[in-house]
Amino acid sequence: MRLIQDNQMHFEFYHSDSKLSKKLDKISYILERDKSFLEKIAEDFKTEKGSKSGAKGMTVEQVIRVAILKQMRNLSYLQLYDELNDNISYRRFTKIHEYKVPKIMALNENIKRLSAESLEELNRVLIKVSKELKVEEGKSIRMDSTGVESNIHPPTDGELLWDCVRVLDRILEDVKESFPVIDFEFSNHTRRAKKRRYKITNTNKKEKRVEAYKDLLKVSAKTAEYTRSCIEQLEQTGEIEATVYKEELEGYLKSLEVIMKQTERRVLHEEKVETKNKLVSIFETHADILAKGKRRVMFGHKILLSGGKSNLILDCVIERGNWSDSEYFSKGIDRLQESHGYVPKEITTDGGFASSSNYDYAVGKGVEKVLFTKKCSSKIVELVKTSQTYKRLKKFRAGIEGCISAAKRSYGLSRCTWKGWASFQSYVWLSVIAYNLSILSNSLLK
């Protein structure tokens, strides 16, 4: 069973007076005030059998502190491992002390086990602590949405087909080597697919580009045939390793079939494929296409952030799809009430959230002042009774842009580097927590 925390006393042989060390001390103080979140996080590390054998590993408290440090300092796993070995302040904050620093793979495996639900619970505790410390009252709320990119290259039909062919060919080669007894027809078309992809990218004439696409589609169809044949052979072996290969091949084959269809429709038949039906990556199949006005198209997911007067992010909604802001205004209010047990007195957002139904919903919930800046009808502005209040709330709303910018620049919220939909949600919450802890610690250092 995973140990939640290490209660052994440690001799503090060194304490730094650096600005960073003082900040980490304040963050440690904040985390120590209410440790109820550790029980929730401990559930992520439970095993089915609850075995007591094997190495003890990192404590739950060490894992969350290491994860916070990694996100706050924007460290790779290699950099994190080196810093934990060399920096005494980091060892003190993460409670590793004189113990041996876990290897890079161990750090990765432990941090990636943190679920979005557990990290959301930690954020709730932090907001509760912020109220106790009189940093955040929660009376005034500002909402805004932003996009978080997935870690993929800009998708084109040629690039996606090339990705499918090269990955499937590599796995089929591995199967041939691991299971010599399996006999299925296979020719490696990686080089041919790469040449067609290059021709598509660097050809100006439409006719030649379409010709290259046709050949790339032919190669992709052949690779799909080889894959189906291999899957049939793997099903008959009954070995565990064969099952792993089979599931991996099935996943990429499914993606290839979708990409071939959308390429045929878009390139050969010149049809317009709806955004919701497009696949933009075979590695991050969950990624959505996010387009907002004339800004550049983003591939990832949209999130809704609710910020307070202290610049803390009180709540975060992470949903799939390119939803409109007005759809999620009521959900943002409901989540604040559910998570923190109150409805704010003031709410301000930009014009994207503006609608009569949203105005009525906020008033019905007991919100005293509501402001949708830009494109607002006179009815929606009625609740803000004076021009002075209007100006104050409009200025207050603008502050959320700075909070989002800081979270993206310094705490990794601009681009998720973790793989998979579940990990995407965990990564976003970890970025929010790292940002909030920085804001809280700075307020205590003043």
Other CB atoms closer than 10 Å to residue 382's CB: what's the count?
A: 11
Q: pLDDT tens digits, residue range 285-339?
A: 999 999 876 678 899 999 999 999 999 999 999 999 889 888 999 999 999 888 8
Residue-averaged pLDDT of the chain: 89
Q: pLDDT tens digits, residue range 75-85?
A: 999 999 999 99
Q: Name the pairing type of β-strands 346-349 and 140-149.
A: parallel
For residue 378, the model assigns a pLDDT of 47
Q: pLDDT tens digits, residue range 200-259?
A: 999 889 899 999 999 999 999 999 999 999 999 998 887 889 999 999 999 999 999 999
| Contact assessment for residue 160 and residue 187, using Cβ atoms and an 8 Å cutoff | no
Q: Is the pLDDT of residue 343 over 50?
A: yes
The secondary element (H helix, E strand) that includes residue 123 is: helix 116-132
3-state helix, strand, coil in the chain (%, to 5): 60, 10, 35
Alpha-carbon distance 70 to 37, whole Å? 19
| Contact assessment for residue 406 and residue 437, using Cβ atoms and an 8 Å cutoff | no
Q: pLDDT tens digits, residue range 18-68?
A: 889 999 999 999 999 999 999 999 999 887 655 555 556 889 999 999 999
Q: Which amino acid is at 413?
A: L
Share above pLDDT 70 across residues of the chain, in percent, rounded to a whole number: 93
Q: How confident is the model at residue 385 (pLDDT cuts 50, 70, 90)?
A: low
Find the distance separating the first CA and the last CA of the chain, reported in whole Å. 41
What average pLDDT score do residues 78-104 get? 92
| Contact assessment for residue 179 and residue 242, using Cβ atoms and an 8 Å cutoff | yes
The Cα diameter of the chain in Å comes to: 81
Joined together, the tokens standing for residue 259 give 């990409």
Angle at 75 between CA 70 and CA 76, to 5 degrees: 110
